[in-house]
Amino acid sequence: MNRRRPHRSRWTTVRAARRPAAGLGFTVVRLASLALIPAAVIVDLFTPESWPFNRFLVGPPALAAASWSPAGTGAIGAAALATDIALTADKHSLGMPRAWLTMGMIVLVTVVAMYASHVRQMEERTMADVRSVAEAAQRALVRPMPARLGPTRMAAMYLAAAAQARIGGDFYEAQRTPYGIRLMIGDVRGKGLPAVEAASVMMSAFREAVHDAPDLPTLAARLEKSIQRYSAQSGEVEERFATGLLAEVPEDAAVLRLLTCGHPPPLLLSGGTVRELEATAASPPFNLSALLGDGYHVDVVPFRAGDSLLLYTDGVSEARNRDGVFYPLADRIRPIATAAPRTLIDQLGADLLAYACDELNDDAAVVVVHRTSDGTPARES
């Protein structure tokens, strides 16, 4: 958690918003390595012989190493060498030492560039393997959100702060239990594998306790014990803590129960309005109960058919634009507050990335829960 970024194709679609710039740059480099050859020819032909622009032909193979395969790089180097020979012969200077020096430099640069291209491709394959492993770990840690659970419809989104990352310390989960639909969203302090490991502890503890804990404070206490045990074993004690929010949607009552442990307040979307559900009393972040006490407070608010609940991590609310202004989530969500969960998630993800210019400061997770029926028992006539 940085204090100062189920349906898999949808998650990938939002992530893809970051990729066009890199793809465009790759294409430009590929074309530039080819365009340099005719450019050098044109300049060399229309300038005095004392200005040997053919020496710039060492550039195309060097540039090709960044985007072409070793074979392609070699072909561009061969084309540059053949062009240099033709230009030198046209000026009747093939026997001059500087002509041989230029050709030798083209050959040398081409050989080095082919090796560099080979190394680049090997690194790209390694990175692809690492990403595949990270994606598998992410799917195991943060499972796809079910589209429906009881009287609710859901959708979720996860955005990693680093463009190349697919895994981080944010987490969420939803389960149908005897007590209703229970959800958790959270954010582990820190980044990297230690944060991922702590997040996995929280997720495992939630999945284990969610069906047995009779109420949210008991569930929070079970989560607290798990993260404390993990921290003691890892030697981190209170260095590794997590904010979190537990929500419960009873299937037989039109209410919502919330327990907020130092986490950003959720938004209630009801009839086109957006309301921030601030906790009326503080509950400690997970793994900080020894310092702050273990008093857990539950808020109960109406949650009727047609209402939606938006849970998020601080990577959303703390995203900044070019002027350093935080993302105004409540204002940006209001025009689409009545949209279906999947549509709302997709539009919010695209808007967030556009606002932050594709540069999130922290991982960001969002969960939307829409109530389709209030579950209130029918009155007897």
From first to last of its 381 residues, the chain has per-residue pLDDT tens of 443 333 333 343 344 334 444 466 778 888 888 888 888 888 877 777 667 677 788 889 998 998 899 999 999 999 999 988 888 776 656 657 677 888 899 999 999 999 999 999 999 888 887 767 666 666 666 678 889 999 999 999 988 765 555 566 889 999 999 999 999 999 988 776 778 888 889 999 999 999 999 999 999 999 999 999 888 887 655 567 899 999 999 999 999 999 999 999 999 999 889 999 999 998 999 998 878 777 899 999 999 999 999 999 999 999 999 999 999 999 999 999 999 999 999 999 999 999 998 888 788 999 999 999 876 544 433
Name the pTM for this structure: 0.68
**Which of these three, 82, 116, 135, is where a domain ends?**
135
Residue 319: DSSP 8-state: -
Which residue has tokens 């210019």?
Answer: 357
- Number of domains forming the structure of the chain: 2
The CA-atom distances, in angstroms, between 275 and each of 143, 176, 307, 337, 339 are: 28, 25, 11, 11, 16
| Same domain assignment for residues 130 and 162 | no
SS3 at position 266: coil
Among candidate residues 135, 155, 185, the one where a domain is terminated: 135
Q: Are 102 and 53 in contact (CB under 8 A)?
A: no
Domain check: are 187 and 314 in the same one? Answer: yes
- CATH number of the domain enclosing 307: 3.60.40.10
212 and 80, same structural domain?
Answer: no
Looking at the fold, whether 82 and 189 belong to one and the same domain comes out as no
Which pair of tokens denotes residue 296?
A: 């857990």
Q: Does 380 reside within a domain?
A: no
Domain limits at 92? 18-135
**Cα–Cα distance, 276 to 216 (Å, whole number):** 20
Give the containing element (helix H, strand E) for 309.
strand 308-312
- Asked whether residue 97 is domain-assigned, the answer is yes
Helices (H) and strands (E) in the chain, counts: 11, 11
In a domain, 3, yes or no: no
Looking at 94, 110, 135, the residue that finishes a domain is: 135
**Pair 330, 257 in one domain:** yes
